[in-house]
Amino acid sequence: MYSNKVITSQKTLLFGSFLFLAFPCILFITTWVKLIFALISITAFLIVVKQFNATLGNRKHYSTLYLNEVVLLFILSLTIVLLSGVGDFASQIRDYIGHTAKIQDLVKYDWPFTYAKVNRYPCYYFGYYLAPAFFSKIFANVFITNVIWILWATLGMFFSMSLVYLYLQKDLKVLILSLFFSGSYSFVFYINQKFIHSNLLISANADQIYYVAYSIFGSAMWVPNQIIPSLLCAIVILISARNDNIKLPLFYISCSFFWAPFPTLIASLLYLLILFKKHYHVLNEFVSFVKIGILIFLFLAPIAIYLSATSSSGVSGFVWNYNADWFAILVGYLLSEIGFLFIAIFLITKFSAKLPEELSYLFYVSIIIFCLLCLTKYGVWNDLMARGNIPLMFIFSIYICSQIVHTKNFPKKVLLLVIYMLVTIPLLKIVFFQLSNNQLIGTMSKKTDTGDMYEVLVKNYSQQEGEQYLLKKDSFFEKYLLKK
């Protein structure tokens, strides 16, 4: 009986997910920015919320979720969050020392704060960390901080999984399969490490070019701060394209820059390509676009100025500026990374299951964008490519996994399943490792304090990486906007 009870709707999930992304922006503006500018921003935000609600409208096409579906999606979201290492529940990859340090800094110090060793303010996209740190300040307890962190991340993942689930017409099989589809990087990297040992076949070294493209779950392990906004932006773009509600992604993309600048930049490009395809809607609603754009600018201008005041890593340009063997590395990577995708494209083109037009369109343009991203190197660890491709990998995964599930051609289904298994085996090994190394079964050792973010980056990575997340001395933000 209770499984037939409607708990929430797509409209409610969209409204809640937008507020979820906007809340850290509000926290930052009210605690780091001078009062007069904060009041302007908050006033603009209230009008933005009203505009967002009007954009949602009262459309009849909004789907609903029943109790059993909500419970299932919550369990799925919590499982992803726990196994990815959030809150120190399961074994964590190396980058978690940075994630933990950011949370600890925000809990420990009054906002805004400086790093004692260099007497400089941090300059970082803190969107993911501010809310759990804000609520954790009340308790100042590591265990409770981790619990709050887990709950916050689970809420964001629940919004993401629910919206993807509804977009997929409640196809749970496609949703679960898509979590682990990672192109062929994991498979080729695994083979290369075990047998070939070639630096040209695939590059995973910062002193070369550093090419990576993870699955949804893989990105959740490496960059939990960026996976949620990446998923929300990408799925809202698809939803808006299907429903011709093309103003909707504006709200998500604008807030997501404070969470994940590089994935949001690529999501913005996908959005522009959708607007180009539906240009007649843009022309009809041009005045409304401009109005929303002005309001969003007034709301988020302090954050935009803050993020623009970061110290540069000094690494930015094209791959040929950083490695003499760039062409061999690029060709080797593209063949290994999206080679399986092209095989899948051939199979799909010849025996295609009918999928939504907007998904097919974004699938093919995402391949082009992916190849172009491989020509760039921005940041020590090539963040523009390594993180910017998260929305693209999401598009790839749900497109190909939809083909696997929905095709009626048996040989094609088998071939696609073989491709899927090859590229997911290395990742599934990690999942099983996480299941056997976590706090629940007592196989993890306690961790000690890691120091602040600046110290962690300098100690575990490089001085250059520590410097790139500091606010420029005497920047416009520090002189005129920062609350002191």
Query: pLDDT of 70-122, one tens digit each?
Result: 999 999 999 999 988 888 766 667 777 788 888 889 998 999 999 888 889 99
Q: Is the pLDDT of residue 454 over 50?
A: yes
Q: Which residues face 184 on adjacent strands?
A: 182
% of the chain exceeding 90 in pLDDT: 39
Contact criterion met (CB below 8 Å) for 266 and 367: no
Distance, in Å, from the CA atom of 135 to the CA atom of 149, rounded to the nearest integer, reads 9
pLDDT of residue 209: 67
pLDDT of residue 211: 73
Give the tens place of pLDDT for each residue, 130-175: 999 999 988 777 788 889 999 999 999 999 999 999 999 999 999 9
Give the tens place of pLDDT for each residue, 296-335: 999 999 999 999 988 765 667 777 777 777 777 777 777 7
100: Cβ–Cβ under 8 A, 6 or more apart, which residues? 88, 447, 450
Give the tens place of pLDDT for each residue, 188-244: 666 666 776 655 555 555 456 677 778 898 888 889 999 999 999 999 999 999 888
Distance, in Å, from the CA atom of 223 to the CA atom of 220, rounded to the nearest integer, reads 6
% of the chain exceeding 70 in pLDDT: 83
pLDDT of residue 1: 37
Spatial CA neighbour of 386 closest among 127, 210, 268: 210
Q: What pLDDT band is residue 350 in, cutting at 50, 70 and 90?
A: low
pTM: 0.90
Question: What mean pLDDT do residues 415-419 have?
Answer: 81
Give the tens place of pLDDT for each residue, 264-307: 999 999 999 998 888 777 777 888 889 999 999 999 999 999 99
pLDDT of residue 334: 74
Distance, in Å, from the CA atom of 253 to the CA atom of 369, rounded to the nearest integer, reads 18
